[in-house]
Amino acid sequence: MSTPITPTSCPQSLPNTDTANPDEQNKSISKQQARQTHYDVLWHGRLDELKEYKEMHGHVNVPRNSSKLGEWCYCQRKQIRAYNNNESGPLTKERKENLDALGFEWIRKRKRSDADAAEMSTKTSRSSEDQGRLLKSLAFVRTAPNTGHCEWTFDRETRVLLAKCIGKRDLLCEEDESFMMRAMERTDIALVIEGLLRNKSPLLDLQYIAKRVKGNIHHRCLHFTVAPKKQESFVAEYASKVAEPAEKSSHQQRFAVPSEKAVNRSIEISDYIDYIGKYKNAMSQENLVEEKAFQFSTMPRKEFYPSVDQFFLVDIDLQKILPEACSDFRDHFLLKKCLPGGDACMMKSVSSHGQPSMGPNLHIGTPGSSIHFHRDGEGTVDSGHFCVDGFIEVVMLGRMTEEKNQQALQHLYPHHKSKKLLWPDYESIRKCKDMNYDPCVFVLKPGQFLHVNKGRMYAFRSASSASLDANDCHKDLRNELIENKMITNDSICKILAWDWMNLGTTEEGIQREISETLTNARLAQKNEVQPLAIPERCIIAMAYHHLACYEATMCWYGGLLPSHLIVLKGIYPGLKDIIECQINDINEKIKSSKTDTYVEVLPLSDAKKDPDRATIDPFGNDFNCKLCKKRAQ
């Protein structure tokens, strides 16, 4: 008599082996074994889904009505009673141990109150929404090409998509470049590319800059006053990692942190580079008691101490101050289409004389200096950031509405009204994640390029070898740099940054990019702030250009850029909106002139037909009306 087989997932009675013949009996047993294997595979498949759920949410309490996985968990709980009574059933010892290892709750907790249930429902909804976006990001990343010329990696925790260009090439592989451009349309991840500048330009060396720009005064220098952080806390934290900690009595200033809001100052660039030399010497000294003060030629009555005063030079215009360095960078940067006026930029169809200055600009900062949350060009432009030297700690949020941006700032700076602007901590980043603000927290390293989409808020901080507060969101990343000896206390940060207007690669992507820049430009004008971008002029110029190319059946754009028809379809909603707004403005002015004696509408000369009588240059950089401050079309 054969031993009966008990299926682990769906028990069914076996045939009566006393009456069945041996052949039928063997066939029946084989079917049962096959059925058992099939149900085992299904069960372990659900177990794998539960593991992924825990990795995503941190627990395995799947709501019953949320999915098939929730119903499966409910069935496992129903089977525990039979298991505890030693009754046969689908739940085996091995399966129970697998579920216990995940922290599976066999008895659900008591029912929550209505308020708790509502809060839990809201969190679950947000978590499900965040999970959905993350899954979409993962699905997008999996489509990355495998050309052998670029390595693609995606970090789920930081939402950073990193592309490492391999080998020395004068051009990017077309497949990799196309995927990079599609990745730039994503507003829920951070795109970082490594290897876009093959040779580090000697024209960006500080000593060369000091000799080249003698006497030039820069008016955008952020001054930070820093407060000393006692070295005892640093030594205690790293006692187990540092073999020979320094004496407690010396250079406490080395572990300084910003203590006051930055103040703008005007200084000579050559003076600032001399100051950096004094700063490095101060950081290398064993004792800072006899530190000498430094005086800038533009501020002869003020004294500054390198260990206490930190400066961040912002937006040094390379085209005006260092034209040779600007040309050298443009020649050797591989992703030229993402530079101002490049092939992927909306401003390409606008005369170079009519384009606002968008860089590249050079930023130089001492360790600890920072630029807090902002949107480039009032949210109307994209920006590119290439790290030349030093390490840049970055916090970047996803693209959101103005209302959500203000809510995010309240989470990031809960004490901004009464205290200085601190760097975000772990708790504030967690709240932003819970609110689906898609925060990206990472470090930009030398040789890496970061793309920031238009409308996204971000903050930069120059990293130093100083210890961070235990709650600082970059603490673990900073510790990793220190432990690997990648950063020193006198590391000077140098960034090349520029603004541009990404057009997009698909019809939907073009519509989103144009809608974002138009919305933010009008919001800035409503708040009486001049936006950097010129979206109306760009859209009208693109319409003329691509319509002419389409009607002339020209295909000069190449395979890596969207076709003329796709661009025309993408810009159509924005172009229609611009024309409708112009018609409404004209009608309102005419209506006002009939009822208000102080308002009169006069026909003006066409600037293109009669440039001598026109008040603006149609091909120049007269972007705004001198009276109403509106953008000139």
Under a CB-based contact definition with an 8 Å cutoff, are residues 623 and 534 in contact?
yes
Coil/strand/helix, residue 589: helix
Confidence at residue 345, expressed as pLDDT on a 0 to 100 scale:
93
Q: Are 491 and 391 in contact (CB under 8 A)?
A: yes
Give the per-residue SS3 of 412-459.
Answer: HCCCCCCCCCCCCEHHHHHHHHHCCCCCEEEEECCCEEEEECCCCCEE
pLDDT at 307 over 60: yes
User: Is residue 375 predicted with pLDDT exceeding 80?
Assistant: yes
d(CA 317, CA 216): 12
Could you state, in order of their start, the residue ranges of all structural domains in the chain? 22-101, 110-141, 202-317+365-376+387-447+454-499
Bridge partners, 385 (sequence order):
450, 497
Residue 248 to residue 234: CA distance in whole angstroms: 10
Report the pLDDT value the prediction gives residue 495, as an integer from 0 to 100: 94
Does the pLDDT at position 413 exceed 50? yes
pTM above 0.75, yes or no: no
- Tens digit of pLDDT for each residue in 176-201? 999 999 999 999 999 999 999 877 78
Contact 269, 219 (CB under 8 A): no
Q: Out of 160-169, 482-491, 534-543, which region has the weakest mean confidence (pLDDT)?
A: 482-491
pLDDT of residue 355: 82
Q: Does residue 599 have a pLDDT over 60? A: no
For 255, which DSSP code?
G
| Cα-based angle 524, 362, 382 (whole degrees, multiple of 5) | 35
Give me the percent of the chain exceeding a pLDDT of 70: 74
544-592 confidence digits (pLDDT tens): 998 898 888 765 555 567 888 899 999 999 999 988 888 888 788 777 7
The C-alpha atoms of residue 303 and residue 294 are separated, in whole angstroms, by: 6
Q: Is 377 helix (H, G, I), strand (E, B) or coil?
A: helix
DSSP 149: S
Question: Out of 264-273, 317-326, 339-348, which region has the weakest mean confidence (pLDDT)?
Answer: 264-273
> Residue 553: left (phi > 0), alpha (psi -120 to 50), or beta?
left
Going by the DSSP 8-state scheme, the letter that residue 473 receives in this structure is T
Residue 37 has pLDDT above 80, yes or no: no
Lowest mean pLDDT: which of 308-312, 349-353, 551-555, 614-618? Answer: 614-618
Residue 541 identity (one-letter amino acid): A
pLDDT grade for 168, boundaries at 50, 70 and 90:
confident
Give 100-136 pLDDT, tens digit per residue: 888 888 876 555 444 444 544 544 555 555 566 667 7
Q: What is the pLDDT of the chain when averaged over all its residues?
A: 78
- Which of 486, 391, 432 has its CA nearest to residue 192? 391
- Residue 311's pLDDT band (cuts 50, 70, 90): confident
Q: What is the pLDDT of residue 230?
A: 40
